[in-house]
């Protein structure tokens, strides 16, 4: 059965949107901003996947895209928690495993390194913004602490994946 039978509803034309519990809130609310940042992050991951030929990156990021929908579900239905500490630990294990195979960092690296790597760096920056937005919401309303940790670890995962995808890295050269 189709869940989305109509794409436009006209119900948001006055500056409000509906949450999954049926309540209406302003589109400028921190909750809706957080939802928008998660949507942008998920789209950025989709773009990165379009540029990355690495099967391991695809196998890593597609489940992350699903978890971002789960996190959006938490925000759309206040009080619901879908992200848990186990998922945070899964990201940490991925970061450790991928990081072990990379050359050690001796200096900051410039974002870039090829189309796929550059897109992963862009997704990392968007992820950091989404995390800051979620923290702003958490300052006003209850937010699942595991979701905040998840976004923090996800930005780290995206960094190591960007390094993995880069055919070559450009270290930052400090101006003397």
Instruction: List the chain domain ranges.
Output: 25-165
For residue 12, what pLDDT is reported?
A: 65
Is pLDDT of 144 > 90?
A: yes
Residue 16: phi, psi to the nearest 5? -125, 160
Task: Give residues with Cβ within 8 angstroms of 111, minimum separation 6.
Answer: 117, 118, 121, 122, 125, 162
Q: Tell me if the domain spanning 25-165 has CATH number 3.40.50.300.
A: no
Residues in the chain: 176
Left if phi > 0, otherwise alpha if psi is -120 to 50, otherwise beta: which for 37? Answer: alpha
pLDDT tens, 59-75?
A: 999 999 999 999 999 99
Band of pLDDT at residue 175, cut at 50, 70 and 90: confident
Q: Tens digits of per-residue pLDDT, 31-42?
A: 999 999 999 999
Q: What is the per-residue pLDDT across 84-96, written as a single tens digit (0 to 9) for each?
A: 999 999 999 999 9
């Amino acid at each position: 059965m189709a869940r989305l039978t109509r794409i436009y509803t006209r119900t948001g034309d006055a500056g409000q949107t509906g949450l999954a519990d049926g309540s209406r809130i302003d589109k400028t609310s921190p909750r809706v901003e957080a939802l928008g940042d998660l949507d942008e992050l998920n789209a950025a991951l989709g773009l990165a996947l379009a540029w990355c030929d690495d099967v391991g990156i695809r196998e890593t990021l597609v489940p992350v895209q699903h978890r971002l929908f789960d996190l959006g579900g938490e925000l759309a239905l206040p009080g619901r928690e879908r992200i848990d500490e186990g998922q945070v630990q899964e990201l940490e294990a991925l970061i450790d495993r991928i990081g072990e195979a990379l050359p050690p960092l001796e200096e900051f690296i410039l974002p870039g390194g090829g189309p796929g790597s550059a897109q992963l760096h862009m997704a990392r920056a968007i992820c950091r913004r989404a995390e800051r937005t979620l923290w702003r919401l958490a300052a006003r309303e209850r937010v699942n602490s595991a979701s905040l940790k998840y976004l923090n670890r996800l930005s780290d995962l995206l960094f190591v994946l960007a390094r993995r995808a880069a055919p070559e890295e450009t270290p930052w050269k400090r101006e003397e």
